[in-house]
């Protein structure tokens, strides 16, 4: 039992738990970003960003989020390398089932998503938290970072919009397999429940991916 977290199964469990935590965060992140296009102004978005950045509980959760991402990335990479060494030669007859197709490219989509996150954090988090290079706006006599205008300006650049759309599609690809795979790793693999989990995974993936795709497209064409 003491060695569970250093075993292959333990690493998969940690990767799955971290992945499910990140999946839940995506819904929160999307909801906040959608206020930018549905509220009619940047005020709700900027106030939400301020609350997220200054609430002590959420600041702790932010640290947990970064930790969860690192755990997911580290264990995922380790397991993939371990699998490559365990199967140095390709099978003579590939299995082209849906599962093997998606799982085969999980490490590739993960690498692309990681690059996207680094760029995203440099564009917004680093400039706001570290450099302080953010326009200011006043609501009700109180000053806020105008992160909303930064997002709008970024999504008015064609190349940046295309890059984000491509990355969100890769994110959807990663979620499609990762959602139900995480539950499977946690032992919820049953002929009665697995189809339901897969269906929920597809719905979640479509909603999250579609929402993130909608934002840059809407801003570029209509804002």
Q: Bridge partners of 136?
A: 145
pLDDT digits over 15-71, tens only?
777 778 888 889 999 999 999 999 889 999 999 988 888 888 777 777 777 777 777
Q: What is the pLDDT of residue 79?
A: 73
Residue 183 tokens read as 């539950």
Could you tell me the pLDDT band of residue 191, with boundaries at 50, 70 and 90? Answer: confident
Q: What is the pTM of this model?
A: 0.81
List, in sequence order, every beta strand (DSSP E) within the chain: 136-139, 142-145
The domain segmentation of the chain, as residue ranges, is: 8-87+98-222
Give the pair of three-digit tokens for residue 117: 């996150």
Considering only residues 214 and 2, tell me which one the structure prediction assigns the higher pLDDT: 214
Q: Residue 171 and residue 116: Cα distance in Å, rounded?
A: 10
- pLDDT over 90, % of the chain: 35
CATH of 8-87+98-222, one of 1.20.200.10, 3.30.420.40, 1.20.1300.10, 3.30.2350.10: 1.20.1300.10
Q: Which two tokens stand for residue 212?
A: 């993130």
């Amino acid at each position: 039992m003491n060695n569970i977290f250093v075993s292959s199964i333990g690493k998969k469990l940690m990767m799955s738990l971290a992945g499910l935590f990140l999946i839940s965060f995506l819904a929160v992140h999307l909801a906040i970003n959608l206020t930018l296009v549905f509220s009619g102004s940047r005020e709700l978005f900027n106030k939400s960003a301020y609350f997220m950045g200054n609430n002590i509980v959420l600041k702790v959760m932010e640290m947990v989020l970064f930790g969860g991402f690192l755990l997911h990335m580290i264990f995922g990479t380790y397991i993939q390398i371990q699998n490559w060494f365990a199967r140095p030669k390709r099978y003579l007859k590939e299995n082209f089932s849906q599962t093997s197709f998606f799982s085969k490219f999980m490490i590739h989509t993960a690498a692309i998503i990681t690059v996207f996150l680094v760029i995203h954090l440099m564009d917004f988090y680093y400039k706001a938290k570290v450099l302080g290079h953010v326009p200011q706006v006043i609501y009700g006599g109180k000053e806020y970072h105008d992160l909303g205008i930064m997002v709008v300006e970024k999504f008015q650049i064609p190349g940046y919009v295309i890059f984000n759309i491509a990355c969100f599609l890769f994110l959807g690809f990663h979620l499609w397999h990762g959602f139900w795979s995480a539950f499977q790793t946690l032992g919820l693999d049953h002929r009665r429940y697995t189809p339901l989990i897969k269906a929920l995974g597809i719905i979640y993936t479509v909603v999250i991916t579609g929402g993130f795709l909608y934002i840059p497209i809407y801003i570029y064409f209509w804002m």
